[in-house]
């Protein structure tokens, strides 16, 4: 009985380094199976799968989602700053430095 094998990459990225581990699993394996087989949790004890999100190729997926051959399982770090707040801060900084980015457009004759 020859069951099909899946080749899966398991990825976790830190600001200064990225870990990518390749595992072979039986057909029908889930994200959780790939994470467990990769040993990434022992390499990165800071990973908390109860709080952190997981996905495949940038799309959020639950731990029990089935995998396809050559999928890339990703473990996402929690966001430090809300993306909307970060953008607002960048625009405010740009305005303080004298750029007109983010300002309302006014016709030349009304300035």
* Tokens read off for 46: 């800071």
Tell me the pLDDT band of 104, cut-offs 50, 70 and 90: low
Q: Which pLDDT does position 106 carry in this prediction? A: 58
Tell me the pLDDT band of 93, cut-offs 50, 70 and 90: confident
* pTM of the predicted structure, to 2 decimals: 0.70
Q: Report the C-alpha gap between 109 and 111 in whole angstroms.
A: 6
Q: Which pLDDT does position 107 carry in this prediction? A: 62
| Whether domain 1-102 has CATH 3.40.50.970 | no
Mean pLDDT of 74-101: 79
- 3-state secondary structure (DSSP) of residue 39: coil
């Amino acid at each position: 009985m020859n069951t099909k094998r899946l080749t899966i990459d398991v990825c976790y990225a830190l600001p200064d380094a990225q870990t990518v581990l390749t595992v072979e699993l039986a057909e029908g394996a889930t994200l959780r199976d790939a994470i467990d087989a990769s040993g990434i949790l022992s390499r990165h004890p800071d990973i908390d799968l109860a709080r952190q999100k997981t996905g495949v190729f940038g799309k959020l997926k639950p731990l029990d989602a089935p995998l396809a051959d050559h999928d890339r399982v990703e473990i996402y770090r929690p966001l430090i700053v809300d993306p909307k707040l970060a953008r607002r801060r960048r625009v405010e900084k740009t305005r303080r430095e004298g750029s007109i980015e983010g300002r309302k457009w006014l016709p030349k004759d009304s300035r």
